[in-house]
Amino acid sequence: MEKNLKRIRKIAILLIIVAVVLIAFLGLYEKKNGIWKSILPEFNFGMELKGIKELHYVLDDSEEEKEVYIDSEGNVAGEVAKDPNADTQVSLETEDGEKEEANEPDKTDIEGYTKETRTIKANEEANINIDNFEKSKKIIQKRLETLDVYEYNIRLDAVTGEIVIELPDDDNVEIAQSMVSTVGNVEVIDYQTGLILIDNSHIKKAVQLSNYSNGYQSYLQLTFDKEGAEKLKEISNKYQAVTAEDGTETKNYVSIKMDDQTLSTTYFAEELANGTIQIPMGNATEDHNQYMQISQSVERIVKIINEDSMPLSYTLSSDNHINSVVTPELAQNAKIVFLVVIVLVSIYLIIKFKLEGLKCAILCLGHIAILNIILKYTNVIITINAIIAYLAVIVINYAFNISYLKELKNNNKKYIFIKNMKELYLMIIPVCIIAVIFVFVPGVVISSIGMILFWGLFIQAIYNWLILL
């Protein structure tokens, strides 16, 4: 009876492994809207395998005549507000979502400021220098590094200030472009006049908050320094809804902007005395996918605000696609060679060790299948060097199993397993050290080798221990 249970257990394990192998290599699909789609994620290939998007950024040389406020020191303190009924004006919404008319812009002079028509340049001549070129490059690097497991190359022309960025040609390119082209200047502006009330020099920190009451809602919370907190307190008392004796209600609005994008236009219901302001981003929604899109956008805004704003404004001049060094034909041929080698090794195992060899061949395929699935779900970037590491851990597993089978005639499985496992890992101690060190190296090319070595060896040890003992 006990022998039968063991036999059933072994058969069940082999069937499970076969199922995992089929899922890993053939995929697992579900039907949605009449279309069969894979449930498993795809491998995340690096630039050299996926193809490169080469983005060329040049200094923005645009300029525009604008009516602006000038302070006592001759600095621009805001753009004079346009007619709220103009097509370019941002529409206002009350808390219940109804549209309402904005107050007429203040046409009177503001004490301490004069109005002038000036030519406003995207980049002032005084700011165009090597120091700001280098600073811009560093800020772009920091922003790109905040994109999870992202691979990129960046080059700077120290003479012209041109910046060239190489990215994997995938869906993340547009996100990266927005991170690069955004200057990151955040301002609280008097909506009626256009006067800047607080600029981003007073922002200490930005965080994202979420709430669920009448739907999913994402908020951008800005925390100001001491001087900014005092200004915010003053603003929150001034820009409120005021009801006159005759019952007429007047609302004074502020706009919170990042560059030319309006994040929110609102008035205050109470005094903000703690130096923080919460800005609702988008509308509350019951659609979780829509909420996640808004949340990811807010997350990127938070990352931009928490870094320094760009000292220079850049514009995309061209984008080029550079094909992978590995052509589709070469990739297909490599897959065929890999499968042929696996088949030949499996045939060798069956001929050499008979039934135990067949079991070993299936177990080794199971190791490859589990490794593939883990690499997909952990989003490890696959580079050409990482493929070498991938093949190395597969060879190590096959070598261990062949060594195990050769000594299996002694019939002490536990002793043979422990002995061979010790010998294997004593032999590959340098590989294990490399795996641990490389995992924490910032560069994708190196870290991907470490990740594959780590997962491959970890799965090899645990998987064989669970199956063979």
* Topology of the domain comprising 2-46+327-468: Multidrug efflux transporter AcrB transmembrane fold (1.20.1640)
pLDDT of residue 85: 47
pLDDT of residue 128: 93
In the prediction, which pLDDT does 247 show? 72
| Element spanning 57, H or E | strand 52-59
184: left (phi over 0), alpha (psi -120 to 50) or beta: left
Give the per-residue pLDDT at 155: 93
pLDDT score of 98: 47
Spans in the chain with pLDDT lower than 50: 85-91, 93-99, 105, 149
Burial-class residue 137 by CB neighbours within 10 Å (0-12, 13-18, 19+): middle
> How confident is the model at residue 22, as a pLDDT?
87
Question: If you compute the radius of gyration of the chain from its CA atoms, what whole number of angstroms results?
Answer: 31
- Token code pair at residue 236: 């929150």
Residue-by-residue DSSP string for 190-241? ETTT-BEEEEGGGEEEEEEEEEESSSEEEEEEEEE-HHHHHHHHHHHHHSBE
Domain map (residue ranges) of the chain: 2-46+327-468, 52-322
- Output the DSSP codes for 102-119: PPPP--SPPTT-EEEEEE
Tell me the helices (H) and strands (E) count for the chain, helix number first.
11, 22
